[in-house]
Chains A and B, each alone.
Chain A
Amino acid sequence: MSKKIEVDFDICEANGVCMGIIPEVFELDDEDYLHVLTHEVTPENETPIREAVRQCPRQAIAVAE
């Protein structure tokens, strides 16, 4: 089963920590909306995505197994 990124947009406050860690996956636009560019967690991007999950000050990001 594939692993997917889940963001709780009610909790996200556009701190942009995730974008700082892996901008290929998380993008904050000019109006503070967070866009998840790819939801798939792959062996290539898993380490930085997990770091983004851990470092998110709001704990708004999760990886669904």
Chain B
Amino acid sequence: MTKPELVFDPFSDEYFNYPYDIYLRMQDEAPVYYNEAHDFYALTRHADVAAALKDHETYSSSRGCDLATVQADDGPQAQVIIFMDPPDHRVIRSLVNKAFTPRAIQAQRDTVEKLIDHYLGLVDPDNFDVVQDFSGPFPVEVITRMAGVPEDYRQRVREWIDISLAREPGNMGFTEAGMQASIESGTYYYQLAQERRANPQDDMISRLITAEILGEDGQVRTLDDVEVAGFTALLGGAGAETVTKLLGNAIVTFAKNPDQWQKLLDDRSKVPAAVEEMLRFDGPVHYNVRFTLKEAHLHGTTIPAGKPVFLMKAAANRDPRAFTDAHLFDIDRDRTEAQNLGFGYGIHSCLGAALARLETTIALERLLDFMPRFEVQWDRLARVQMQNVAGYHRVPVQVLPR
């Protein structure tokens, strides 16, 4: 029997439903995968993805980091940090990175605990959707509060993100609703920037407004309201729907691996290790796209300059060449075998990693208290269909008696 042709279509139902079998075939059969229909490449082996993430001189972010943007004739329409290479990237990242170090992020602990307790307090144990009732609502509150979005608009931000990331099978760009949400969100943040310029507060958006950077001409300048709005919107998005998905994925994964959940019930000190293993085993960000500024040579193949390349972190994190029993979920695994690429690697590695770890750790601890025994209602589980992130829209669970 011959195998079916290997097709990686990042906007297909088959891929959305279960990407990991496709990744294994790509690693074995086509480590430098080329999709002729859409004219892009994809790297899936751990060593290749890690090396490419480090090599920003070959694999550039300057044309965008999703396929539709990279392939657009006029390139990215916004100047945001994820679409930058050095030296611009370094300048912009330095405006915010001190607020996100593991030490600095401890200042958010109280906020995170209060929000988690608030949302878990509202939950009906007989009818609990982990994503809709819990992991969706709370992370967006934390990051938008840091950013300076007024309380009334914080859940709105989540709706905008959800709608704008949604993809219809077979279509790599925005949906019509997504375009509309993106415009609304952009307008909202622009108005917020103008408001904060007039009335500064103790928040990130106000600090971005007053920050001085060295421009290309060597002159000191400040960010304009479009730049401030774009950056704040990006922080809101990156800091919200990622933890949402990580926690939804975690509950599904633990339901399939009850022995691992029991380990946590027996020993809470393993929660941080469990968070790391979740980021490896089923992290929310599956890939980012880069654009080759020069030829790349690997596995006897040449990727020409000027091509989109998918760097498949989620595939790399399950590469059997890098991890023993890569497809097993094991919170006790040896984490020194290979780098966990769940937060990326190199200059674009996740700015909010420490915040994500804090939120996910506290959330898992509280869920262990709230539902030491639970069942996922498998027939009502629903996946998202989105660009670059994977996870569930709904994870309904039944909390069982202890």
Contact = CB atoms under 8 A, between A and B. Distances in A.
Interface of A: 10-11, 13-16, 28, 30, 32, 51, 54-55, 57-59
Contact of B347 (A11, A15, A54, A55): A11
Nearest to A10: B90
Contacts of A10: 90, 94
A26 to B, nearest CB: 14
Contacts of B336: 51, 55
A58 B339 contact: no
Nearest to B101: A14
Given A54-B339, A57-B353, A14 B102 contact: yes
A28 B354 CA distance: 15
B101 A15 contact: yes
Contacts of B350: 57
A55 B347 CA distance: 13
Nearest to B50: A54
- 10 shortest A-B CB distances, which residue pairs? A14-B101, A57-B349, A59-B346, A32-B101, A13-B97, A59-B54, A32-B103, A13-B101, A10-B90, A58-B349
B353 A55 contact: no
Interface of B: 54, 90, 94, 97-98, 100-104, 336, 339, 343-347, 349-351, 353-354
A14 B105 CA distance: 12
Contact of A14 (B90, B103, B344, B347): B103
A55 B339 contact: yes
Point out which of A13, A14, A30 has the most chain B C-beta atoms below 10 A from its C-beta: A13
A15 B102 contact: yes
Contacts, number: 40
Contacts of B103: 14, 28, 30, 32
Contacts of A15: 101-102, 353-354
Contacts of A11: 90, 347
Contact of A59 (B347, B351, B353): B347
Contacts of B347: 11, 58-59
Contacts of A54: 339
Given A13-B100, A13-B351, 19 more contacts: A13-B97, A13-B101, A15-B101, A15-B102, A15-B353, A16-B102, A30-B103, A32-B103, A32-B104, A51-B336, A55-B339, A57-B339, A57-B343, A57-B344, A57-B350, A58-B347, A58-B349, A59-B54, A59-B345
A54 B339 CA distance: 7
A58 B102 contact: no
Point out which of A11, A28, A54 has the most chain B C-beta atoms below 10 A from its C-beta: A11
29 contacts: A10-B90, A10-B94, A11-B90, A11-B347, A13-B100, A13-B101, A13-B351, A14-B103, A15-B101, A15-B102, A15-B353, A16-B102, A28-B103, A30-B103, A32-B101, A51-B336, A54-B339, A55-B336, A55-B339, A57-B339, A57-B343, A57-B345, A57-B349, A57-B350, A57-B353, A58-B346, A58-B347, A59-B345, A59-B347
Contacts of B101: 13-15, 32
Nearest to B343: A57
A29 to B, nearest CB: 10
B202 to A, nearest CB: 20
Contacts of B353: 15, 57
A13 B339 CA distance: 17
A32 B101 CA distance: 8
A28 B101 CA distance: 11
Contacts of B345: 57, 59
A35 B92 CA distance: 24
Nearest to B338: A54
B28 to A, nearest CB: 25
Contacts of A58: 346-347, 349
A11 B104 CA distance: 17
